[in-house]
């Protein structure tokens, strides 16, 4: 029996994922967590075969969880299930050590297929992401970093996301365990990379990113 740890800060979504997984032969849910801290504690207590995590979590996000687990338990596979644009995040997840990226809108059978592949030692991303990677390797248009957001580092993207969620410098600094001055530096780099004129324009762009996931 393969044990799966679910990490999502929405109880209804956690329960829905548990229901899907429990119906599949050979799979079981060994625990459910809502934060990175809870997930790390449950990993120690339940010894899962796979961690299935959301990307957006309170405080430290799913990307940080992957990096922590890569250090603590490098052989434990982690797969992300998220609503965020896979062309922006999938490569970052794989680079951090994740083994798969699935959009939350996919049918249950696709999620289960992804889980099976990752448990079997493989990597799962959608055909869209695969074609994007291959296009980049061959130098074809569409495979290069065409979205301005892709120019941001992982930390800059994290700060950008928190700005879009209405967090101020002091709160961002606290959540990410960095200084407010460092947050200021990240905001400046983000504005430069996205070609934004001032702080107000940055906030508007970040809010649109979080709420509608449209502007790129």
Where are the chain's structural domains?
2-135, 148-212
Please return the burial class of 124, using the count of CB atoms within 10 Å of its CB with bins 0-12, 13-18 and 19+. buried
Name the fold adopted by 148-212: Arc Repressor Mutant, subunit A (1.10.10)
Domain 2-135 fold is Rossmann fold (3.40.50)
* Predicted pLDDT of residue 148: 73
- Residue 54 per-residue DSSP state: -
Which residues of the chain register pLDDT less than 70?
132-147, 211-216
Confidence (pLDDT) at 209 = 74
Strands, DSSP E only, in the chain? 2-7, 27-33, 50-53, 78-82, 100-103
The predicted structure's pLDDT at residue 216: 36
Give the pLDDT confidence score for residue 134 in this predicted structure.
58
- Burial state string for 100-112 with b = 16 or more CB within 10 A and e = fewer than 16: bbbbeeeeeeebb
pTM score, whole prediction: 0.73
């Amino acid at each position: 029996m393969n044990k799966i740890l679910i990490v999502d800060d929405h109880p209804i979504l956690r329960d829905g994922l548990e229901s899907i997984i429990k119906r599949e032969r050979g799979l079981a849910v060994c625990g459910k967590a809502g934060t990175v801290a809870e997930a790390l504690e449950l990993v120690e207590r339940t010894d899962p075969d796979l961690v299935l995590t959301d990307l957006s979590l309170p405080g430290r996000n799913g990307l940080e969880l992957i990096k922590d687990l890569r250090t603590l338990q490098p052989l434990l596979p982690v797969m992300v299930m998220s609503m965020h644009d896979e062309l922006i995040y999938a490569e970052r997840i794989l680079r951090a050590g994740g083994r798969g990226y699935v959009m939350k809108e996919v049918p249950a059978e696709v999620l289960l297929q992804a889980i099976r592949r990752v448990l079997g030692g493989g990597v799962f991303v959608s055909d869209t992401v695969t074609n994007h990677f291959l296009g980049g390797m061959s130098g074809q248009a569409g495979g290069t970093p065409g979205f301005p957001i892709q120019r941001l580092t992982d930390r800059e993207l994290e700060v950008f996301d928190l700005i879009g969620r209405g967090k101020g410098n002091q709160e961002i600094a606290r959540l990410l365990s960095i200084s407010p001055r460092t947050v200021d530096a990240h905001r400046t780099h983000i504005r430069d990379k996205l070609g934004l004129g001032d702080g107000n324009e940055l906030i508007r762009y970040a809010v649109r990113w979080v709420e509608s996931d449209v502007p790129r």
